[in-house]
Structure 1
Amino acid sequence: MLYGAIEAGGTKFVCAVSDENLDIKERVSIPTTVPEETMTAVFAFFDQHDVASIGVGSFGPIDVNKKSETYGYITSTPKLAWAHYNFLGALTERYDVPVAWTTDVNAAAYGELKKGAAVGKDSCLYITVGTGIGGGVVIDGKIINGYGHPEVGHILVRKHPEDTYGGACPYHGDCLEGVAAGPSLEQRHGIKGHELGAKHKAWDIEAYYLAQAIMSYTLILSPEMVVMGGGVMKQTQLFPLMRASFEKQMNGYVATPPLEDYIVPCGLGDNAGITGCLLLAIEEVN
């Protein structure tokens, strides 16, 4: 039996087909342009495979509320061509199979819990820091949704004392994403983040914001592990800086696991999302 997965990102869609052991039989990458063009390529891929189910992790925000009239839609995304697009409806109209529907970061969190850095845990928080900041939450082995899904990148943060940058978020200005996502590094310092030296002051400021956010998530969710992914987190010097800043800001208020085991890099790398989607597809029919 084969299972399908779609990791729908803002830059590219990754589509894959695997067996129940996650042995991927075929995988493609499709540019994210406009729905008509991108979905035509998605359909061309899955038309070749007889899958029992499909797991989708999509960029968002998306509607995950099954009671909503727009369940399965991409909603208020800044990618305007995809705003209010009935993604789930397009898939179920084309394929008469069950479809698991969640965010790309929820799928990545689930992948990391089951097959990545958080194996053996019952809960984890996955945070991706790149062009934007997003996060997925798994508690007691289940992806957390409510009326909507978590948008951890848009919490408000206290400004770093030395940071005069106004923030890049078009909705909130200096929320976490506005001051700590990739574009903020470039706009604050005039060059792309990966061009900054490892000892540049920028990373102290970045670590301060990320640690502050992780402190808030810790106080609210108390996950067993915080897994960090995305392009910015490939700057490995951030991890000791974040842990030190987290310890200082938390100031001993609540206990956590040892920070080297609590704030960690993702175990699956760029495969976290597609792995989670495949796992959700398999569970949809088993």
Structure 2
Amino acid sequence: MDSDLRHRHAASFGAAANAYAAHRPDYAHEAIRWALEPAPGPRVLDLGAGTGKLTATLAAMGTDVTAVEPDQAMLAELRRSLPEVAALSGSAESIPLPDASVDAVLAGNAMHWFDMAVAGPEIARVLAPGGVLAGLWNTVDDSVDWVAGLARVSGPAAIGPRDTPASWRTETATLHLPTTDAPVRFRSPEQAGFQHGQRRTADSLVATLGTRAGMLVMPDEEREATLARIRRYLATRPETSAGEFTLPMVTCVLRVRRL
């Protein structure tokens, strides 16, 4: 994805901030614990925090969390729902924190939006020695038959190349800090996946998929046709056609540690 298209997709979420907050899932606690395992202390930056899905869990787990988010509508929703958390306007490319001020930088479904040529050195700047950078992505578990069918029916705008575990491993393998001539170095990246799930109905799952960036930037007619196709599929499946069900997911984590 070129930089202009990436920016257009990344900037699309603000218009759907309320829907994002209502429908996007949280992250598996085991995944967050694994991400933070090597961190030298409790100070955590949630970078590209959105409406605070990851921030809320980090706060509940007792970390000293600070959220940074560039989109003002998303930031307003985060501040409304988590008034006790320090939430700052900023971006991965311009982090409003001092040098070596955090022990971990986490990004929930956000690292692929970062311009890592700029964000990499900036993240290294705010990380303390031995600190951790980890990206977390909620993927749908397409080893389950009906979920694999959903992925096929939905198309890449709703369930894209990072949204299933196997494709996530390939797509994120190089989404770590770039090698530079700067003195800061990182260890080799590690990947892991953790089972997760979200209680949904057919309507709420359609609403969830409607908050994906590819869907938000679609022309209205095309988006409605795609969502209608997904609704028809869910109505045909016994797993999803009658009331609530659990959407099988895997929270995938990419982790690197600063030397």
After TM superposition, the score normalised by the length of structure 1 is 0.33
Higher-Rg member (1/2): 1
